[in-house]
Amino acid sequence: MHITPVIKKRIGIGLGILAVLLLAGLGLFLVKRQQLLEAALVKVKAKVERKFPVTLTLGPARFIDLNTVELRGISVVPTAPQPTDTLLRARTVRASLSVRSLFAGRPVFSNLEIDTVRLTARQTANGRDNYSFLYKKKKGAPTVVRDTTKGTNYGLLANQLLEATFDNVPDEADFREFLITYDGPRHRARLVMSRLAIKSGEISGEMTALIDSVENRVGIIGRIDAGDYEVDAQVFGLDKRPVVLPIVQRRYGARVQFDTIRVSLSDKTFRRDELTLTGTASAVNFIVNHPKLSDQDVRFPRGGIDFVTRLGQASFALEKGTRVLLNRMEFFPELSVRRRPVPERVVGKNINGLTSRSQALAGMVVKLDVESAETKANDFFEALPEGMFETLEGTRAEGTLQYKLHAALDMNQVDSLEFDSSLRATKFRITRFGRENLNKLNESFRYTAYNDKGDSVKVFTVGPENPEFTPYNQVSDYLKYAIMTAEDPRFMTHRGFMEKAFVKSAIQNLKERRFARGGSTLSMQLVKNVFLTRKKTIVRKVEEALIVWIIENTRLASKQRMLEVYLNIIEWGPRIYGVHEAADFYFDKSPANLNLSESLYLASIIPSPKRFRAGFNQYGDLRGSSRYFRRLIAQLMARRGYISEGESESVGGVSFSGRGLQAMNFSARPDTTRLALPADSTEFEPLNLLDLLGTDVPPSQEVPAGTAVPPKPE
């Protein structure tokens, strides 16, 4: 088609008119958008002040390019119950504005940039503050009746929190010079965020936090996808300094710190009021210190968890697919915790020791199963947290190990407590001992006795070099069997632990709401005395159990040698250590010549040696509880064939001589008429494990067939 000059002229005129119209429209838009912006900000101010008791002041606003708005100054001042300090002040706010939303009267902002922000929260000693209006309900506002008898729905709460958080994360944001301060009657905090940016989903920032007297300089990097509820973020200490959690330290007395923590959330599903979360969490150089946990730092160099967790109505669970990694050792835990509705909770002194359905443990049902992958022995020892197994640090071994644990507790039926823990070894052998040579049990060694405060009170040699050392075959059989019967009836056949005794001890402790009974075997008592301190911490008990397992399962020392060492080191009274001193102090005899009555007395004071006089009244007569203990132990010894029925029935009192008699300090009777003694009573419980072992079980069923049994005394 040929374009003539006339057509060209008409096209040019048309384009010119279109350009003029576009320019006029653009000019009109530029004028109008400013008016719309100012009107929108007026609406925003009114809406905020209707919703909250505050005065919102907005500075001049203008467009600095086609769709970017700059607001010069913002302040928020609470007005109720009366005007208070400024809560929020910002110097400059910039954001991208959707033009379409502006013309629709509902402005939508994105790409938020805030410069020089001051958020100041305060609370006085009488409870007045300038921030609680943000979450308090208005007077007269309708309330939804909640059924609290079924417990809190943690899934619903967590889902609401996550959605509120992710839905308010901007696609693009840049916060600079953000200062948050809090001054209260108990705490003071100052958070300086030099910069926090979100760009194309990438998060980066630095901040300094001073809470009370603890300061942390923290870096943050990661990625977030708010639309899919996904996040992967790392928090780490700057300047090669760890991050310390001050709130945990102040509230629980525990110091918790780390170099880096990484948390990611990869999936969120909310269905039928239950929330399922899938993700990972890991830490580098994670350290915990608490006096009840350990007397020193417990350090986890590297560890993490891939979790599948479910939260619901008064319930929490770690489900199948969860994996815990400690260095190269993998654990696969499954945990469920739920709390029964209030009407279904059972309480009672003899049921669970609880007195109210509102108590924290009332109605609690817990089940835990843990299984580790089959792990090389060296990987197992390297996975042990530093500071937790000090005695075993540096231990090397061959073979593989695999751990399993099952536990179940229903506070409505505490007697149904289940506990089963096992460490299975395959071709396991210690090739090098760590800090402590566990083989010293088979040799002469120097032993240090400590008091309950951890102070050294006596040092002596356990071996033939010590003239007071008493070999196994020079100790009265009566004493050996009395101790084993009272403290650990299956010592000669078990592998260091009696789970039935442990479970029944735990049941009683739960019912009495205190540590009323222990479940230690002779093996555990021996390890505690020879290799560990007297401090009662969780770490020490775990270390004790592992050392016992190694000694018993590698046959490091014979049962006879273990009992020999035990008899020569345990405390039997004030600064009385070892069977030689005990026999001499109380009876002016050698250990070989102790009779049944004397042996029963020595066995009875092992749990509380400082209370060696407690079994007698002021005149030296046995109390009812002591007579019951002696009779019960003698009967059990007879059932096991250690003594005859006649010896059991003829057990009488006990006579002291020498220094022991002086230490008893009995009073002389006021006349020659013998006072009536209270009757023996089965209301008195044995001192340790007797009633935990099912004493109604025939002796033939207590020891597996083919197991060597110690010889009967002659």
Report the range out of 186-190, 307-311, 360-364 with the highest average pLDDT.
Answer: 307-311
CA distance 689 to 703: 17
d(CA 564, CA 470): 8
Mean pLDDT of 634-653: 91
Indicate the helix (H) or strand (E) that contains 334: strand 329-339
- Residue tagged 């064939």 (tokens): 641
pLDDT value for 125: 84
CA–CA gap between residue 340 and residue 355 (Å, rounded): 16
Q: What is the pLDDT of residues 276-313, one digit of tens each?
A: 999 999 999 999 988 888 888 889 998 999 999 999 99
Q: How confident is the model at residue 364 (pLDDT cuts 50, 70, 90)?
A: very high
Share of the chain above pLDDT 90, in %: 40
Structural contact between residues 638 and 632, judged by C-beta atoms closer than 8 angstroms: no
Confidence at residue 176, expressed as pLDDT on a 0 to 100 scale: 85
* pLDDT(636) > 80: yes
- Upper half-sphere CA count for residue 597 (Cβ side, 13 Å): 12
Calculate the CA dihedral of residues 282, 287, 289, 292 and round it to 10 degrees. 40
> How high is the mean pLDDT of the chain?
83
Q: Is the pLDDT of residue 670 over 50?
A: yes
Tell me: pLDDT of 317 over 50. yes
User: For the chain, percent helix, then strand, then coil, each to nearest 5?
Assistant: 30, 30, 35
Question: Partners of 420 in the beta sheet?
Answer: 406
Q: What is the pLDDT of residue 699?
A: 36
Specify which residues 330 forms β-bridges with.
Answer: 325
List domains and CATH numbers for the chain: 327-436 (no CATH), 437-702 (1.10.3810.10)
CA pair distance 414, 507, nearest whole angstrom: 6
Specify the DSSP class assigned to residue 414: G
- Structure confidence at residue 48 as a pLDDT band (50, 70, 90): confident
Q: Nearest-CA neighbor of 668 among 707, 619, 611, 605?
A: 619
pLDDT tier for residue 677 given thresholds of 50, 70 and 90: very low
Q: Are 77 and 86 in contact (CB under 8 A)?
A: yes
Q: How far apart are CA 390 and CA 304, in angstroms?
A: 22
Question: 40 vs 51, 70, 97, 209, CA distance in Å?
Answer: 17, 14, 11, 36
pTM of the model: 0.77
* Residue 15: pLDDT band with limits 50, 70, 90: low
Report which of residues 697 and 227 the model is more confident about: 227
Task: Provide the 3-class DSSP secondary structure of residue 434.
Answer: coil
Q: How far is CA 684 from CA 42, 505, 700, in A?
A: 81, 16, 27
**What does the pLDDT look like over 419-436, one tens digit per residue?**
998 999 999 999 999 888
Q: What are the structure tokens assigned to 36, written together?
A: 């719309």
Nearest C-alpha neighbor of 180 from the set 168, 169, 193, 170: 193
Assess contact for 557 and 564: CB atoms under 8 A: no
In this structure, the strands spanning 418-432 and 54-58 are unpaired
The confidence score (pLDDT) of residue 264 equals: 96
- What's the gap between Cα 108 and its chain centre? 45
Assess whether pLDDT exceeds 90 at residue 603.
yes
pLDDT by residue (tens digit) across 111-131? 778 888 888 888 888 878 887
- Locate all alpha helices (DSSP H) within 212-293, ordered by sequence: 246-252
pLDDT for residue 103: 61
Overall average pLDDT of the 79-87 stretch: 72
Least confident of 71-85, 199-213, 522-536: 71-85
Say whether 658 sits in a helix, a strand or coil.
coil
**Each residue's pLDDT tens digit, 437-459:** 999 999 999 999 887 777 788 99
In the structure encoding, which two tokens stand for residue 560, read together? Answer: 């006879």
pLDDT of 463 higher than 90: yes
pLDDT of residue 521: 87
Q: What is the pLDDT of residue 698?
A: 37
CA 631 to CA 645: how far, in whole Å? 12
pLDDT of residue 164: 80
Instruction: Report the candidate in 366, 377, 383 with the shortest Cα–Cα distance to residue 302.
Output: 383
pLDDT of residue 371: 96
From first CA to last CA, the distance across the chain in angstroms is 132
Distance, CA of 644 to CA of 477 (rounded, Å): 13
Burial of 260 from C-beta contacts in 10 A (0-12 / 13-18 / 19+):
middle
Q: Which two three-digit tokens encode residue 11?
A: 């096209």
Q: DSSP assignment of 559-597, as one string?
A: HHHHHHHHHHHSB-STT-BSHHHHHHHHHSS-GGG--HH
Which of 205-244 are b and which e, b meaning 16 or more Cβ less than 10 Å from the residue's Cβ? bebebbbeebebbbbbebebebeebbbbebbbbeeeebbb
Dihedral sign (CA 684, 689, 693, 698): negative
Q: How confident is the model at residue 696 (pLDDT cuts 50, 70, 90)?
A: very low
Work out the average pLDDT over 8-25.
59
DSSP 686: P
| Residue 349: exposure state from Cβ atoms within 10 A (0-12, 13-18, ≥19) | exposed
- Lowest-pLDDT range, 70-79, 140-149, 492-501? 140-149
The Cα–Cα gap between 304 and 289 comes to 19
Cis bond upstream, residue 107 (ω within 30): no
Average pLDDT estimate for 57-72: 84
Question: Do the Cβ atoms of 94 and 67 come closer than 8 Å?
Answer: no
- pLDDT of residue 687 exceeding 60, the answer is no
The 3-state DSSP class for residue 133 equals helix
* Torsion, CA 447, CA 452, CA 458, CA 463, rounded to 10: -30
Give helix then strand counts, H and E, for the chain: 16, 24
For 84, the 3-state DSSP assignment is coil
Predicted pLDDT at 676: 43
Distance, in Å, from the CA atom of 31 to the CA atom of 519, rounded to the nearest integer, reads 85
Of 474 and 178, more confident: 474
Helical H runs in 588-714?
Answer: 596-604, 624-639, 645-649, 659-664, 699-702
Determine whether 483 is exposed, middle or buried from the number of CB atoms within 10 Å of its CB (0-12, 13-18, 19+): buried
Per DSSP bridges, beta strands 173-183 and 109-122 are parallel
